Amino acid sequence: MAEMNMLQAINNALDTAMAANERVLCFGEDVGVFGGVFRATSNLQQKYGRDRCFNTPLVEQGIVGFANGLAAQGSYPVAEIQFADYIFPAFDQIVNESAKFRYRSGNLFDVGGLTIRAPYGGGIAGGLYHSQSPEAYFAHTPGLNVVVPRNPHQAKGLLLGAINDPNPTLFFEPKRLYRASTGEVPDGEYQLPLGKAEVLKEGTDVTVLGWGAQMEVIDKAVEMTEKDGISCEVIDLRSILPWDRETVAASVLKTGRLVITHEAPMTGGFAGEIAAAIQERCFLYLESPITRVTGLDTPFPLVLEKEHLPNHLKVYEAIRESVEF
């Protein structure tokens, strides 16, 4: 075990995967000798050579198209998109190609080895194009895994899980926590399961659900509500697609209340899907409306970022309203 921040854990996961399997390759913009604009791929080219860790031309649709081809050939490409905001040029390759490769070929071909990493989320004065949380766009696409870690231990275990999972995986990294989140990370290989939520804290009054950087916000809000005598059950969803309805539904059947929070805008956000599915499963057990605490339905602003984001105060108020309904 070693103390690492999230970037070090990601770098360590890539190192572990590349050491274990020579068909694992890392590439993207500035990923090579420079080690990535956030340093997630530091020293990998030096260690594994220019053939296995390299810069690509600046073309996102090309990076993902190239990765699709490599994965179809039997390699394990780990492609980096520099910011999740710039994944949209590759939307066609991801949605029409990666996600449908196995299905459309009747399983003759697949891109199961594919992993796409991208830093996501706000809180770093990134304005419109260095702050977005695009997970809901991809949640509407059968065939993909969408995964978001919340801390260094998760980042390494889930990234290794993603690389080894036999399906294409989008791995969104909360860049606000890249250096802010630190913790103990095992040295060797370990994998955390995809598609499984994690109950971080048991409670009886209300279920509070989120993922990625929002878990830190939830922690602060829950600390405040507990002082008010409200018992919160906290769940990290971890996988947006496929998502773990069983764990969430079991919790809501117990607490009778659900608050979901994410940074992305409300309309069409993934909280909507969760709310609908849980309402179907837990209708007779719900004691208050399912509440969503999200970003506003606006592009991501620069100066009024704090007002836009669903911070701990907004989550705290939502929890109280849910319990007092």
Partner 1 sequence: MTTRKSSTVYSPVFTDGSEHRIPTFKLLKQDGSLYKNGRAPDLDKAEARRIYHAMVTTRVLDERMLAAQRQGRLSFYMQCTGEEAAVIGSTAALSDTDMIMAQYREQGALAYRGFTIDEFMNQLFGNDRDYGKGRQMPVHYGSDRLHYMTISSPLATQISQATGYAYGQKMAGDGACTIVYFGEGAASEGDFHAGLNMAAVHRVPAIFMCRNNGYAISTPVVEQYAGDGIAPRGSGYGMDTIRVDGNDILAVYQATEAARRLAVEDNRPVLIEAMTYRLAAHSSSDDPSGYRSKDEEATWHSKDPILRMKYWLEEREWWSESEEKALQESLRREVLDTMKQAQKRPPPPLESLITDVYDEVPPALDEQFDRLKAHIRRHPDAYPKSAAHVQGGE
State which residue, 70 or 264, has the beta carbon closest to partner 1.
70
Query: Is position 262 annotated as part of the catalytic site?
Result: no
Could you give the 3-state DSSP secondary structure of residue 264?
strand
Nearest CB to partner 1, comparing residues 107 and 303: 107
For the bound state, the minimum distance from the C-beta of residue 162 to partner 1, rounded and expressed in Å, comes to 13
Binding string to partner 1 for residues 279 to 298, with x set by CB under 8 A, is what? Answer: --------------------
Selected binder of partner 1 within 93, 131, 133, 247 (CB under 8 A): 93
Pick from 81, 174, 172: nearest CA to 124: 174
193 touching partner 1, by CB under 8 A: no
Render 293-315 in DSSP notation, one character per residue. EEE-SSPPPSTTHHHHS--HHHH
8 Å CB contact between 8 and 35:
no
198 counts as catalytic: no
* CB 103, min distance to partner 1, A: 5
Task: Classify residue 259 as exposed, middle or buried by CB count within 10 Å of its CB (0-12, 13-18, 19+).
Answer: buried
Q: In whole angstroms, how large is the CA radius of gyration of the chain?
A: 19
Q: Is 61 in the site for partner 1 (CB under 8 A)?
A: yes
Give the strand pairing for 232-236 and 198-201: antiparallel
Q: Which of 35, 36, 112, 161 binds partner 1 (CB under 8 A)?
A: 112
69 near partner 1 (CB under 8 A): yes
**The tokens of 244 are what?**
């773990």
The set of residues, in sequence order, having a beta carbon less than 8 Å from that of 122 and lying 6+ positions away, is 131, 132, 133, 176, 263, 295, 300, 305, 308, 309
d(CA 206, CA 223): 13
Q: Is 34 in the site for partner 1 (CB under 8 A)?
A: no
Among the listed residues 109, 128, 228, 287, the single contact to partner 1 using CB under 8 A? 109
Q: Which of 20, 21, 23, 279 binds partner 1 (CB under 8 A)?
A: 23
Question: How many of the chain's residues bind partner 1 (CB under 8 A)?
Answer: 47
Binding segment for partner 1 among 6-14, 35-43, 61-69, 253-261 (CB under 8 A)? 61-69
CA atoms of 159 and 109, how far apart (whole Å): 23
The residue ranges that bind partner 1 (CB under 8 A) are 23, 25, 51, 54, 56-57, 59, 61-62, 64-75, 77, 89, 92-93, 96-97, 100-110, 112, 142-143, 166-167, 195, 242, 245-246
Q: Which residues are known catalytic residues?
A: 60, 130
